[in-house]
Amino acid sequence: MRPVTLFTGQWADLPLEVLAPKAKAFGYDGLELACWGDHLDVERAASSDAYVRGRHELLAKHGLKLFAISNHLVGQAVCDEIDERHRSIVPKRVWGRGPKGVQERAAEEIKTTARAAKALGVKVVNGFTGSSIWKYQIRFQRSRPR
């Protein structure tokens, strides 16, 4: 039987400690942790056994397992044409002092995400790669009559 999992990104405004028992009560077997909010810090996961152990212990306390991690927001910045929209979706360390260099820092953060996944013992990292035409889609949607 396949485990039923929940991606936590849409609840990243809730601390993981609050979301985990809710997910279990909803009937989920495990989580796919978003790499934003307090759900998963990829730098800490890639470098701290204690942090990794703490994430697993928090989930286990609520009868949940970790099946995947997702870094959609940083991944979006890898191939996008970077502008002010990205400031609010990428970590400060990726944004730096502005758009210049964000793609390169985002690519490095995705590499760190892969190392975090390995440390966490998960084999699945989900995300977006972004697109240089995404900004045109956003403008198109805003300009369409309703």
Residues forming beta bridges with residue 66, ordered by sequence position: 31
Quote the pLDDT of residue 35. 97
Q: Give pTM, 2 decimals.
A: 0.88
pLDDT above 60: residue 139: no
Q: How confident is the model at residue 136 (pLDDT cuts 50, 70, 90)?
A: confident
Q: Position 10: which residue type?
A: Q
Is the pLDDT at 110 greater than 60? The verdict is yes
Task: Give the per-residue pLDDT at 82.
Answer: 93
Report the sign of the C-alpha dihedral through residues 83, 84, 86, 87, in that order.
positive
pLDDT greater than 90 at residue 25 = yes
The CA-based diameter of the chain, rounded to the nearest angstrom, is 53
Mean pLDDT confidence for 119-128? 96
Quote the CATH superfamily of domain 5-143.
Divalent-metal-dependent TIM barrel enzymes (3.20.20.150)
Q: What is the mean pLDDT of residues 85-95?
A: 93
The residue among 35 and 130 whose pLDDT is bigger is: 35
Backbone angles phi and psi of 126, in degrees to 5: -100, 155
pLDDT digits (tens, 9 = 90+) for 55-78: 999 999 999 999 999 999 999 999
Q: What percent of the chain has pLDDT over 70?
A: 93
Instruction: Tokens for 137, please give them.
Output: 């889609």
